Amino acid sequence: MANFIQFIISKHKEILHLLLQHITLTSFSIFLSILIGVPLGILIGKIKPLRKPILAFINLIQAIPSMALLGLLIPFIGIGSIPAIMMVVIYSLLPIVKNTYTGLNNIDANILEAAEAMGLTPLQTLKIIQMPLALPMIMAGIRISAVTSVGLMTLAAFIGAGGLGYLIFSGIQTVNNNMILAGAIPAAILALIVDYIFGKIEVFVSPKGCSSIPNKKKSIVFNILLLVLAGIIIFSVANNFSKGHKKNIVVGSLNFSEQLILGNMISDLIEDHTDLNVDRKLNLSGSSIAFSAINTGEIDMYVEYTGDLLINVLKDPIIHDPKKAYEHIKPEMENKYNLTLLEPLGFNNTYTIATRKDIAEKYNLNTISDLAKISNKLVFSPTMIFVNRPDGLVGLSKVYNLKFQDVKPMDGSLRYSALNNDNSQAIDAFSTEGLLKAFNLKVLKDDKQFFPPYNAFPLIRKETLEKYPELKDTLNLLTNKLNNETMIELNYKVDQLGESPEKVAKDYLMSQKLISSN
């Protein structure tokens, strides 16, 4: 408990910043869900032929996994807050639409007949009678959606939109329970606060006779709550608008420690050596998302690896020589995608296979060929990405004739925990991961040289480099400044010692005199 409190104190600024992002994104989502869902519920109540197709479509969307929906949205609207908000809005529509429809259509027919007899038009009946009577039911649906939105918005971190999910997923990646709790607890508290606020609104909008709260008091409190919500939305719009005018360069990164360190390194270099402002869209959930984002202009640069571009983007055969691989990729990226490869950083973060040292001693494991001989006795827990990659388990199994007893994919640091708890006996890893050192694992030699080189380098949009030519010399300050041993140590500081990627990046740059100490 003391460690957690100390962690919260040391990270309070970052936590507050991410909490504000989470509130901003959630507020927008709730507002848009109401703006779309309530009229849609009224529409299907008035036009019966639309009821079944609209409800069927909303139900169908609801059945799509949230991560899959995010993945489907990215090619069309990119990364960042917009797809995150759209995803949450789509998932929030069902209870609002259904409750609006149910509330309006469960009103006593005699009341509606009386309204018609009094000469009220359908619009007047809706405004004066139906909406006030249906409002408690509608608010119940909005309340459900609002609380759900808080939890769903944690996924925004996967696509660079920030929020409390950044802490949760970073904690999972680095086996840092304090970081997970620092994101999860505020999210849970925020959900309870949202539930309380909308619960009060639900009571306040109850028709006279259904609530013990005087109408005057209800009106005052209701107006205060609306003003608070409006204030949050206005502040969020103004904040995003001002950011949009200050932003010059967008730097991205993937969602593991090394990438977060490198993303902060190149951001710090740019801010120290140029007059440009940097917007950091770090923690993107995979190479495909990062490449899609740079290809569509959502980000201007990020650190990429030769193996990823060679195999997953260009779909070319493996080139084992690092220099030849780089020289092959560079013109291809410029000609096909208008992307420029800057100079390599100096380390090769290729795939490896690792196991515990006691398992290695028991079976005399030194190479992957040794592993193949007894693989039918072991459980393998690779990352989900590794399972289906041609330079992953698919190709590796063919080359080494691996036949594991079972394959249990799991992402991030969870596979390290599974290995440590003997739920699995082998995992895939990156050769510069700090967790290899943290868990004191045995890395098996790739004796058949299956894995391609994964030399790291900054990948930047050609038009960005043409617009800001000073970026080339600035980013090339990192050329050959990072070898495998250095990268392992830097990752270890994040993964095991609990230092932030931002601090580790800045400290290293200052130690190399690449940025000023101010």
Same-domain status, 194 and 317: no
**In-domain check, residue 327:** yes
Annotate 149-212 with three-state secondary structure: HHHHHHHHHHHCCCCCHHHHHHHHHHCCHHHHHHHHHHHHHHHHHHHHHHHHHHHHCCCCCCCC
Which tokens go with 451?
A: 């894995």
Beta strands in 264-422 (DSSP E): 278-284, 301-305, 339-341, 351-356, 379-380, 406-407
**Last-in-domain residue among 181, 216, 242:** 242
**Last-in-domain residue among 421, 444, 467:** 444
How many whole angstroms separate alpha carbon 41 and alpha carbon 93? 10
Of the candidates 445, 407, 439, the one whose C-alpha atom is nearest the C-alpha of residue 426 is 407
Same-domain status, 397 and 308: no
Segment 118-145, tens digit of pLDDT: 888 888 888 888 888 888 889 899 999 9
Same-domain status, 329 and 470: yes
Q: DSSP alpha helices (H): ranges in 64-175?
A: 66-77, 81-105, 109-117, 122-125, 131-152, 165-174
**Last-in-domain residue among 424, 444, 464:** 444
Residue that is written with structure tokens 């490869």 in the block: 341
Same-domain status, 269 and 365: no
CATH number at residue 475: 3.40.190.10
Same-domain status, 339 and 361: no
Same-domain status, 404 and 499: no
Segment 54-90, tens digit of pLDDT: 888 888 887 888 777 777 777 777 777 888 888 899 8
Same-domain status, 30 and 68: yes
Same-domain status, 11 and 102: yes
So what's the pLDDT on residue 213? 46
CATH number at residue 144: 1.10.3720.10
How many whole angstroms separate alpha carbon 71 and alpha carbon 78? 10
Domain count of the fold of the chain: 3
So what's the pLDDT on residue 199? 83
Same-domain status, 257 and 356: no
Segment 162-208, tens digit of pLDDT: 888 888 887 776 667 888 898 899 999 999 998 988 887 777 766 65
Same-domain status, 458 and 483: yes
So what's the pLDDT on residue 212? 47
Same-domain status, 378 and 340: no
Same-domain status, 36 and 171: yes
Cβ 81 vs Cβ 23: under 8 Å: no
Domain region containing 185: 1-242
**In-domain check, residue 518:** no
**In-domain check, residue 26:** yes
Q: Model-level pTM? A: 0.73
**In-domain check, residue 424:** yes
**In-domain check, residue 517:** no
